Structure 1
Amino acid sequence: MAETELCFPQLNTSCVKPKRPLSDTVLIYMILSFISLLTAALNLLVIISISHFKQLHTPTNSLILSLAVSDLFVGFILLFQSMLIDGCWYIGDLMCVLYYGLDYIIISSSVGTMVLISIDRYVAICDPLHYSIRVTQKRVQVCVCLCWIWFLFCFIVFLKDNLKQPGQYNSCVGECVIMVTLSEQVVGFFFYFILPITVIVVLYMRVFVVAVSQARAMRPHIVTVTVQGSRKVTAKKSELKAARTLGVVVVVFIICFCPYYCVSLAYQETLFNASSAAFVICLYYFNSCLNPLIYAFFYPWFRKCTKVIVTLQILTSGSSDTNIL
């Protein structure tokens, strides 16, 4: 009989490492490391672009910045996720709770930011005359801060028992387990997935209907507009393009998150094997890598900012005033 390998060989209470071919382990490490580095690098470009260039200091971009920050942290979370590949947790019980807590705060903040983005696009398209009054830079920043603070508070409330005595639910040394009751899972599923997704879908359906009706109404008048009128049309097209781009972000977000939440709420080993569970988790985290790629595809300003950053032109004096749009 082959000798079993323990996470901590010097301890009799140590967890046993699951047996997996070395080639599979190396492949998983490489994939997770690649996704982690790519996610961190791309979202760092978004953060630097919006923070540095003054033309990008708008309420909508502040929401994109908040989303990029949460996606950047997802890249670091993937590094911790890679530690669990061999079935062992080596950095202590407190770090285990903090890892799950950080994961919860980041993902929940992403969901909250998606809701704020939907509200922003709803007001911009459906009530454009009052948009600049209702949606200001300061109000958006306050909403983003409250969003992050709220989910930090929820983390402390939901995991208070795990924080009091980290590792109390571990069955062996080297395991990373936290306890969340079924009622807490159901409440979290409703408030952090069903309700936000419902709000997002309803608002974007409304935005889509209004955008289509406005496009049809503007079409007969485009030929006869004045110079001032043409500027309004251009501004309206810009808002519609932003709504379309962020709509793609929202759709990709829903596609990536739905399988994970469905599996996590109704997990049964008879229905989901290790391979399908791993795919769902990878899809869940890979969403953070896709968002910057969507910006690069739809936003010319992001491609221009990336070129300025990569060529180090950003280090020159006055680069923050560069014409990006």
Structure 2
Amino acid sequence: MMEAAELCFPQLNSSCVKPTRPPADAMLVYVLLSAICIVTVVLNLLVIVSISHFRQLHTPTNLLLLSLAASDLLVGVVLMPVEILYIESCWFLGDAVCTLYYVADYVITSASVANMVLISLDRYVAICDPLRYPARATKRAARAGVCLSWLGSLFYRVALLNGHLRNPGASVSCLGECVVVIGYVAALVDLVFSFILPVAVIVVLYLRVFVVAVSQARALRSQVAIVAAAQRPGAIAARKSEMKAAGTLGLVIAVFLFCFCPYYAPTLAGEETSVDASSADFEIWLAHFNSCLNPVIYAFFYPWFRKSIKHIVTLKVLKPGSRDVKVL
């Protein structure tokens, strides 16, 4: 006979059993996940403040990075705390809030994927069609792309979870649980449109970028060896900068794929996708951990981000004219 103290709602027989872990394991999980959450929020805030504050960083590419950082920040502010809170607790906020939580989760995730596609397209045009890049990659185009990615993610996810929105708690098997189960057909559709197609586009674009970047690197080495190269050091430096940026953003894409592949593994195996807010599933946290890794990559590979952090931490951003400081 199950003790009442082990139930989320002791007075109800339909109550779920409270999640339990050994105290030492629970404390370790809390500390680790809380640290990841804090680092995610702080680093992405630094990215957002940097790009928003310094005028020199107001470029189309950085607007896309700003959108990506915003989605990563929402992961750290909205999604991670809920999952940490309910590791050793039951869900007491009701089925409607549970469903809305998962809508937010999926919208943020879809927006991140869309941002990755836009970033890949931006790098593709910058490397493969540099003469037309200034005309095509404008701030207006970047803003339009960002708006479409977020609105498209919202409408797509609402349509996908329409059944759960109409009937909150349809997947809940007992009181005190917050879980959404997506049928295999819907999960397969989601796999195709949220992962396979975007990944295919990203991989094709970056393969093309890689081939062109290698050929351009060889051309640059040839140009440096001749006198004409000395007369155009700025152009050569600009091309090197573009290729370095492509490499860094390529690493961001690679980390994204590594973090999200396990999440879609059940669908690839022909299983239903079940997401539970009351558990710290490895696949979910690995996908969310990507939001922490992105700004870490920026810190290591983008000098402008390191310079911006110094200005922010030392409060130099509060001084008059700090928006015009050169960080590139």
Q: Report the TM-score, using the length of structure 2 for normalisation.
A: 0.92
1:44 is matched with: 45
In the alignment, does 2:3 pair up with 1:3?
yes
Q: How many percent of aligned residue pairs carry the same amino acid?
A: 57
Instruction: State the 1:194 CA deviation.
Output: 0.6
Could you tell me which of 161, 173, 176 is aligned with 1:174? 176
The amino acid of 1:236's aligned partner reads R
Which range moved further: 24-33 or 64-73? 24-33
| Residue correspondences, number | 318
Q: Secondary structure at the match of 1:8?
A: coil
Instruction: State the 1:96 CA deviation.
Output: 0.6
1:315 is matched with: 318
Instruction: State the 1:7 CA deviation.
Output: 1.1
Report the Cα distance in structure 2 between the residues aligned to 1:88 and 1:106, rounded to whole angstroms. Answer: 24
In the alignment, does 2:162 pair up with 1:160?
yes
1:273 is matched with: none
Instruction: State the 1:150 CA deviation.
Output: 0.6
For the 8 Å contact 2:191–2:267, the answer to whether it is kept is: no
Report the Cα distance in structure 2 between the residues aligned to 1:308 and 1:42, rounded to whole angstroms. Answer: 14
Could you tell me which of 224, 235, 251 is aligned with 1:232? 235
For the 8 Å contact 2:184–2:267, the answer to whether it is kept is: no
Instruction: State the 1:264 CA deviation.
Output: 5.0
Instruction: State the 1:178 CA deviation.
Output: 2.5
1:16 is matched with: 17
Once the two structures are superposed, what CA deviation does each residue of 1:36-78 show, in whole Å capped at 9, x if it has no partner? 1110110000000001100000010011111101111111211
In the alignment, does 2:162 pair up with 1:150?
no
The 3 A distance-change label for structure 1 pair 240 and 54 is: same
In the alignment, does 2:266 pair up with 1:260?
no
For the 8 Å contact 2:19–2:90, the answer to whether it is kept is: no
Report the Cα distance in structure 2 between the residues aligned to 1:228 and 1:67, rounded to whole angstroms. Answer: 38
Instruction: State the 1:106 CA deviation.
Output: 0.8
For residues 129-278 of structure 1, the aligned pairs below 5 Å read: 129-223=131-225, 224-225=227-228, 229-263=232-266, 265-266=268-269, 278=281
**Moved runs in structure 1, 4+ residues, more than 6 A?**
none
For the 8 Å contact 1:17–1:86, the answer to whether it is kept is: yes
For the 8 Å contact 1:185–1:265, the answer to whether it is kept is: no
Which range moved further: 37-46 or 281-290? 281-290
For the 8 Å contact 1:83–1:89, the answer to whether it is kept is: no
Report the Cα distance in structure 1 between the residues aligned to 2:21 and 2:96, rounded to whole angstroms. Answer: 27
Instruction: State the 1:322 CA deviation.
Output: 0.9
Instruction: State the 1:8 CA deviation.
Output: 2.2
Report the Cα distance in structure 2 between the residues aligned to 1:14 and 1:278, rounded to whole angstroms. Answer: 22
Which range moved further: 26-35 or 299-308? 26-35
2:308 is matched with: 305
For the 8 Å contact 2:8–2:18, the answer to whether it is kept is: yes
Which range moved further: 61-70 or 166-175? 166-175
The amino acid of 2:52's aligned partner reads S
The 3 A distance-change label for structure 1 pair 43 and 114 is: same
Q: Secondary structure at the match of 1:86?
A: coil
1:72 is matched with: 73
Which range moved further: 36-45 or 217-226? 217-226
Q: Report the TM-score, using the length of structure 1 for normalisation.
A: 0.93
Instruction: State the 1:285 CA deviation.
Output: 1.3
1:60 is matched with: 61
Which range moved further: 173-182 or 244-253? 173-182
Instruction: State the 1:226 CA deviation.
Output: 5.5
1:120 is matched with: 122
Q: Which runs of 5+ in 1 are unaligned?
A: 270-276
Structure number with greater CO (CA < 8 Å, separation at least 6) is 2
Report the Cα distance in structure 1 between the residues aligned to 2:23 and 2:92, rounded to whole angstroms. Answer: 19
Instruction: State the 1:181 CA deviation.
Output: 2.1
Once the two structures are superposed, what CA deviation does each residue of 1:260-295 show, in whole Å capped at 9, x if it has no partner? 2113543779xxxxxxx8333322211111111110
Which range moved further: 283-292 or 158-167? 158-167
Report the Cα distance in structure 1 between the residues aligned to 2:229 and 2:240, rounded to whole angstroms. Answer: 16
The 3 A distance-change label for structure 1 pair 213 and 9 is: same
In the alignment, does 2:285 pair up with 1:282?
yes
Q: Which runs of 5+ in 2 are unaligned?
A: 273-279
Report the Cα distance in structure 1 between the residues aligned to 2:58 and 2:199, rounded to whole angstroms. Answer: 27
Report the Cα distance in structure 1 between the residues aligned to 2:291 and 2:270, rounded to whole angstroms. Answer: 24
Could you tell me which of 76, 90, 93 is aligned with 1:91? 93
Q: Calculate the aligned-residue CA RMSD, in Å.
A: 1.8
The amino acid of 1:6's aligned partner reads L
